[in-house]
Structure formats: structure tokens, C-alpha cells
Structure 1
Amino acid sequence: MSDSGVPDGQRQTPAGWYQDPSGQAPYRWWDGYAWSSSTSADPAAGRPAPSNTPPVVVGAVWQRPQLPPDRPVYSVFIWLIVLLPLLSWPLSFTYTPHLSYERVNGIRTIDPFSIYTPTYFAMLGVSLALYVVTIVLAFRDQKWLQRQGVVRPFAWGWAFLGIVYTIGRSVIVHGVAPKRGLWPIWISIALIVIGLVVGFSHSASEFSQIQVPTK
């Protein structure tokens, strides 16, 4: 701690009894992160010795504790979350709408219901199942991270927004385990890009073969 009472850099001020900055009591307990409601006139009995230099709360930076270098940061759950979208690719790339036409007010138009093929409904079912499984896996992954010692890991509820959980989880893990933890983001982005490129190519190929009747 510096002479001014401000923690050096991002160093956490240790828990202990310090002079109460509010002046309401002789000493107040600092729990390592914030002032508590515990006060004392004689904190020496069974407690750490008081200090004449109280920590400064304003502007203090809280950081999650770092993980040991040998602590694993990738669970089977996060890899399943990243790779699950691959299960929907076969259906997506084989989906071919059988377009039909109808005449509305003398104008020949595509029947919008002609896109609803069995493959289409199979795609919806698989997507919904993968969505639910991803949420369950995110919950399990958050619990796994807590067992590894990650304090306040990214909340599993963000899995409802898809890749948001993977991004947030990776950023937090990278913060407590420098040079590690970001691979799920890069692989997810790569799969998204590949899926979009192949999907657009497939769609363009299918629609280029559709012949619109002239009468």
C-alpha cells in the first residue's frame, strides 16, 4: 500500500481492523473488498492488529484471483457448446424447398407455404433441441469453472443469447488464466463464418435452378 493509503496498482488490501473512515466508531472491519458493518473499540482480542492507515474504497479495483498455471480451463461442456452447431449442418445443407406457384389477383406468385417441407420442420426441431442442450451445458460449465477456482464465472443464463455465453466465459477465463481461455471464441467464429459461406453458396445454387413459369 502507498503512503496515501491507496492500494499499489491493483493489489488487494488485506482484511483487517482499520480506523473507521466515517468516524462513527474507533475501528471498522475491512473484509478485503469493502467496509463491513462490524465495529469495535478494542479489536485486538482474537482479531488482526488494527492499522492506522485505512484502505481507500473509492477507485479501488476488484480483480478475480488468478488460477494456477496447471489448472485446467477448458471443460467438456464448453467444447460441446462450441461444436453442437455442427449437428444441424447436414439438414441445413440438404434442405431444398419445393416451390409452387399460385395466382393472386391475376399475378403469378410463389406459394409461401411451399417452403414447409419435412426437412424444414426437422431443421426447426433439431435447432430447438440444440438450443435447450446448450443452456444445460452452460449451466454445467459454470459449475465446473467454480470448482476450478474461478470466482464469479460468466453467468450460464447468457446462453439464451447463443454465442454470448461463449464470449463472456472466454474473456473471464482469459483474465484469470492469462494466455489461455480464448480458443472457444476463435473456433466458434470460424464455424460461424464457414457455415455462412457454405450456406449462402448452397442457397444461391438452389435458387439459380428454380425456373419461374412464364404463364
Structure 2
Amino acid sequence: MTDPNQHQTPPAWYPDPDPNNPGGQRWWDGARWTEHSRPAVPAPQPLYDAGQDARPPAARHPTSTQPGYARPSQPAYPPSATQPTYAPTPAPAYASGGYAGATPDAAAFPPVKPGTSAHTWAIWLVVGLPLLTAIAYMFVDFTAYFRAIIALSASGSTPGSGDVSRFSSALSGFVIEVLLIDVLGLVIYGLSVMFAYFDWRELQRRGFVRPFHWAWTFLGQPVYVIGRTVVARRRGGTDTMWPIWGMIAVFVIIIVLVVIKVVMVFNVIYSTVGTYGPGVS
């Protein structure tokens, strides 16, 4: 998943994280540091200092054409050596593994103060609201609907029997309950988006620079919870994993409730079929 706030840093000159180039800049190509760097601009020096050599530059630094110039002596090498040996040049610092985390984004997204918690009251409502839909489904009367179907099948829909009217009544009640559950789901969806906005605003207040945007909740509650956790950890927040564990716990509880409801419905169907005999189809 890609955080929209984690945009790619554009190519430009940025402060060089190489300790061998203090105050300098290095070119960032949009994905990594390059070998192109420039040193820090030195502070302008005074044109003349009475405490220094007052002679003009040409007199202080004579050339080979000026009187008094002496060529520096060349180092003497042993007769057996044809050329001097040099130590191998180390790899440039920008190519080392330590540069991996020293990206320009480190300055754009500074960490929060140590000990800043990512716990908010709003994130727990975002995590726990889907549980209400599963609890509501536990109160839907599936058994009356299936009993009416089995009774209608056993009677053969003979004229004058009350099975058809009972089936119509059970069907209408079942449809109304399902529609109410659907409306509840839409309300919970809207509340999740609203509480995600409150959570996003609270994280900003605590110093999280550009936290995971609340609008991702429109794609689903898990999308926001997971993305929020990743970004909060990158910003150095504490207690960032608890919403993930809470979401997993809610998911497990929902699975358990669904299994219990299915077992209850099948037990009713089995007992009802046994009442009407094996010939029910």
C-alpha cells in the first residue's frame, strides 16, 4: 500500500549527509544519492588584514617566473621502486549502506517527540464499530424463515392451509430485518470515516507530521488502520501496534459469532425436518 503523503522527493540539491563534506550539498536524483556534490560556500574573507602579510598576492605566492621562486624538492624513492604506492581509495560515502536512511524525506517528515503515543479514543471506535454489525446479525430470526419454508414444502401449498400466509409473514419479517442490518452497516461506515478524521486531526495535534490520511477509510476500515500504523511507526510514535491487534481481535470475534449463528440455524433446520419426517424436500 502506498501512503499518498509519502510522495517521492523531487530531484534537487539537498544537505549532504556525508560527514566528510560538512555543510556541503549532494544531488538527489529522486530515488537515491548520486556522486555529484559541492562543498560548502566559504565565508567571504576581508580584503586586507593589518595583522597578516601586507604584501600583494604575487609577492606572497611567487611563480616560477618570479625572482626568489624555489621549486619544491621531489621525494626520493628507493632505487627498486619505479613508482610510489598508494593506499586504495575507499568507496564514496554516498554509495555506502549508511546512506539508505539519510534521505531528504528525513528532514521533511521529522519524528515526533520521544514517548509520543499514537493512542487516541477515535481509533478504537474505528476498530470496534464493525463488531456492531455482527452482533446485530445475531438477532436476525433466520429460524422462523426456514421453518416457514419447510412447513410450506411439507404441506405442498394446498389451498386453505395457513402455511402460505405463515411463509409470507416470515419472509416479510426476514426481509425487513436484513434491510435494517444494511442500514446499520451504512451508518457504521459513515461513523468510521468521521472517527478516522478525528483520529487524523488528533495525531496532527500531537506532532505527527502528515499522518496517514483519514480519507483512506472510504476504501475500508482495515486500509486506514494498517496505513495509519505504518506511518505512525515511521514518525517514531509509541503504542502504534495496538490498533492492529484490536482489529485482529474484532475479526476473530466476528468469525466466532458467525459460526455460532450458523450452528444455531442448522440445528433448528435439522429439528424441523425431523418433525415433518424424511419426506420433506
Among 145, 151, 155, the residue aligned to 2:213:
155
User: Could you tell me which residue of structure 2 aligns to residue 139 of structure 1?
Assistant: 197
- Asked whether the equivalents of residues 134 and 257 of structure 2 are also in contact (C-alpha less than 8 Å), the reply is no
For residues 25 and 230 of structure 2, what CA distance do their matches in structure 1 show?
Answer: 35
Normalised to the residue count of structure 1, the TM-score between the two structures is 0.64
Distance 1:197 1:90, change over 3 A: closer
Higher-RCO chain (CA-CA 8 Å, sequence separation at least 6): 2
Count of residues in Structure 1 that have an aligned counterpart in Structure 2 = 174
Matched, 1:206 2:265: yes
For residues 18 and 193 of structure 1, what CA distance do their matches in structure 2 show?
Answer: 52
Instruction: Tell me by how many angstroms 1:82 deviates.
Output: 1.4
Kindly report which structure 2 residues correspond to 1:35-46, keeping only aligned pairs within 5 A, or say none. Answer: none
For residues 175 and 239 of structure 2, what CA distance do their matches in structure 1 show?
Answer: 44
User: Could you tell me which residue of structure 1 aligns to residue 111 of structure 2?
Assistant: 66
Instruction: Tell me by how many angstroms 1:96 deviates.
Output: 2.0
Which structure shows the bigger proportion of residues in helix conformation?
Answer: 2
Instruction: Tell me by how many angstroms 1:68 deviates.
Output: 1.5
Normalised to the residue count of structure 2, the TM-score between the two structures is 0.50
Instruction: Tell me by how many angstroms 1:18 deviates.
Output: 4.5
For residues 193 and 129 of structure 1, what CA distance do their matches in structure 2 show?
Answer: 22
Instruction: Tell me by how many angstroms 1:206 deviates.
Output: 0.9
Among 217, 224, 228, the residue aligned to 1:169:
228
For residues 197 and 43 of structure 1, what CA distance do their matches in structure 2 show?
Answer: 70
Distance 1:168 1:18, change over 3 A: closer
Matched, 1:129 2:192: no
User: Could you tell me which residue of structure 1 aligns to residue 247 of structure 2?
Assistant: 188
One-letter amino acid of the structure 1 residue matched with residue 254 of structure 2: G
**Percent of aligned pairs with the same amino acid:** 30
Among 84, 87, 91, the residue aligned to 2:136:
91
Instruction: Tell me by how many angstroms 1:130 deviates.
Output: 0.6
One-letter amino acid of the structure 1 residue matched with residue 183 of structure 2: G
Distance 1:17 1:84, change over 3 A: same
Instruction: Tell me by how many angstroms 1:17 deviates.
Output: 7.7
For residues 211 and 238 of structure 2, what CA distance do their matches in structure 1 show?
Answer: 17
For residues 208 and 214 of structure 2, what CA distance do their matches in structure 1 show?
Answer: 14
- Asked whether the equivalents of residues 146 and 153 of structure 1 are also in contact (C-alpha less than 8 Å), the reply is yes
For residues 123 and 191 of structure 1, what CA distance do their matches in structure 2 show?
Answer: 18
Structure 2 spans left out of the alignment, 5+ residues: 1-14, 28-32, 34-40, 45-93, 157-166
Which structure shows the bigger proportion of residues in strand conformation?
Answer: 1
Structure 1 spans left out of the alignment, 5+ residues: 22-33, 35-41, 46-55
- Asked whether the equivalents of residues 119 and 239 of structure 2 are also in contact (C-alpha less than 8 Å), the reply is no
Corresponding residue SS for 1:172: helix
One-letter amino acid of the structure 2 residue matched with residue 91 of structure 1: A
One-letter amino acid of the structure 1 residue matched with residue 268 of structure 2: Q
User: Could you tell me which residue of structure 2 aligns to residue 116 of structure 1?
Assistant: 174
Q: Which has the larger radius of gyration?
A: 2
